């Protein structure tokens, strides 16, 4: 007999000890409160924010005349120049008419470049004109000079009387000498749609101009109806 036991018995003891150690280690890993291994994840990328487009002034083709105004121009408010949405500017000596004298009374608010129209019937080729109180700089009136700019009901220069009556049903026009003025009242202004008429002066308007829109404007509240037919009462009022 070999002291210390047989080799086979020794191997069995060693194997049992190894299994016991492995089991103990596994149980320890499952013990409540034991720290769990930290999962390593892939950080998600934040979506790139879409940049907000800078505001810009409306193009001529986007303009619509309402009882409030035209684009960013609002009757009853002071026009703003020098901003991305500005449509007008104050032009010094606009009405100097060749005079070398500088006088604030010659200054006028005028549309910026880009608001010209080859179809304009007044205003020297401008699409619209402004009536601004020079003492308060408050915008009192906007006149549209081109059929390119409609009202919010679709009426334009040269629209027919029938189209006006259909768009603004129930309005009884003011009878001027040469025209009838349809007045559409809003919260901030009054739309004037001036339609030619031979009812009071026979044969003044040629056949192809009778009963058509000859002037289109928005004026500040409280402004009485008036006619611009056969007058120079259109902006910029230099004469």
CA 52 from chain center: how many Å?
15
Angle at 67 between CA 62 and CA 70, to 5 degrees: 30
Per DSSP, the three-state class of 18 is helix
What structural domains does the chain harbor? 60-219 (2.60.460)
Nearest-5° angle of CA 15, CA 16, CA 20? Answer: 120
If we measure between CA atoms, which residue out of 209, 188, 199 comes closest to residue 65?
188
pTM for the full predicted model:
0.78
Residues 159-206 have pLDDT tens digits of: 999 999 999 999 999 999 999 999 999 999 999 999 999 999 999 999
Between CA 57 and CA 137 the distance in angstroms is: 20
Q: What is d(CA 112, CA 168) in angstroms, rounded to the nearest whole number? A: 31
Q: Which residues of the chain have pLDDT under 50?
A: 1-20, 22-31
pLDDT at 43: 58
């Amino acid at each position: 007999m070999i002291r210390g036991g047989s080799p086979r018995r020794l191997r069995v003891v060693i194997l049992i000890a190894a299994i016991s150690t492995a089991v103990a280690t596994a149980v320890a890993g499952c013990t409540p409160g034991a720290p769990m291994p930290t999962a390593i994840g892939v950080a998600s990328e934040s979506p790139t924010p879409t940049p907000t487009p800078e505001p810009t002034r409306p193009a001529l083709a986007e303009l619509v005349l309402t009882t409030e105004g035209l684009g960013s121009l609002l009757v009853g408010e002071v026009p703003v120049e020098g901003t991305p949405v500005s449509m007008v500017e104050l032009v010094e000596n606009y009405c100097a008419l060749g005079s070398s004298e500088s006088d604030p009374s010659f200054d006028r608010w005028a549309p910026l470049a880009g608001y010209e129209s080859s179809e304009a019937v007044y205003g020297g080729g401008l699409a619209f004109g402004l009536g601004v109180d020079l003492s308060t700089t408050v915008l009192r009136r906007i006149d549209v000079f081109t059929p390119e700019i409609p009202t919010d009901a679709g009426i334009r220069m040269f629209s027919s009387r029938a189209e006006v009556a259909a768009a603004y049903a129930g309005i009884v026009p003011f009878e001027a000498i040469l025209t009838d003025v349809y007045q559409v009242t809003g919260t901030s202004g009054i739309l004037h749609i001036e339609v030619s008429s031979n009812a009071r002066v026979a044969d003044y308007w040629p056949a192809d101009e009778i009963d058509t829109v000859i002037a289109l404007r928005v004026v500040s509240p409280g402004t009485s109806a008036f006619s611009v037919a056969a007058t120079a009462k259109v902006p910029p009022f230099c004469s």
